[in-house]
Amino acid sequence: MNALFTKMSESTAEDWQIILPEQVAYFKKLPDRILTHLELLTGDYGGFAVDRLQHSLQTAHRAAEAGEDEEYVVCALLHDIGDTLGSANHADVAAVILEPFVSPENHWMIKHHAIFQGYNFFHFLGADRNMRDQYRENPNFKRTARFIAKYDDPSFDPEMPKLELSVFEPMVRRVFSAPKNSMYKSLLEG
């Protein structure tokens, strides 16, 4: 049975009794959709020495090996997930996906990582490599610079053994099991 309204403004409490269980079931499949979307990065090298999935896996692997917590590792894994649909703003896309599920510090780090990574190459493109300095006073500046230096920057290594997404699947499922920061949090917990 489906709700019958044609305008949300005409919906009823009975309609939402039909819709809510369907939405909760769909929401619970989010980790599957994220993992499937990450697979789209396979084989897309974009001129780099490794494909985008291996870059993401290397970044997450380095973070995990360094002892970062699970949420941080998942952020590292998803930091470039936006490349497929948000080629001009991939960091924003990744940050929006992660925002309901991660700390404000991790969200900020992912949202701004592209500008911070730009320190390593913007000058080759005629842009200001110090663009990140506009955020120098932000409390997350050092955290984001560290993410780039330790995990994102060195993760274009074709000599590194090929990594498998399945290693990170349980982490993705746990981090995306319930939102921390969302208007839907209480609905999904019930």
Q: What are the sequence ranges of the domains in the chain?
A: 45-189
Quick one: pLDDT band at residue 181, thresholds 50, 70, 90? confident
Whole-number pLDDT of residue 54: 98
pTM of the model: 0.94
Helices (DSSP H) in 4-103: which residue ranges? 13-28, 30-39, 52-65, 70-78, 90-98
Cβ(106)–Cβ(85) below 8 Å: no
Q: Spell out the CATH class of 45-189.
A: mainly alpha
58-81 pLDDT tens trace? 999 999 999 999 999 999 999 999
pLDDT reading at 188 higher than 70: no
pLDDT of residue 183 exceeding 80: no
Q: How far is CA 148 from CA 65, 82, 129, 142, in A?
A: 15, 17, 14, 10
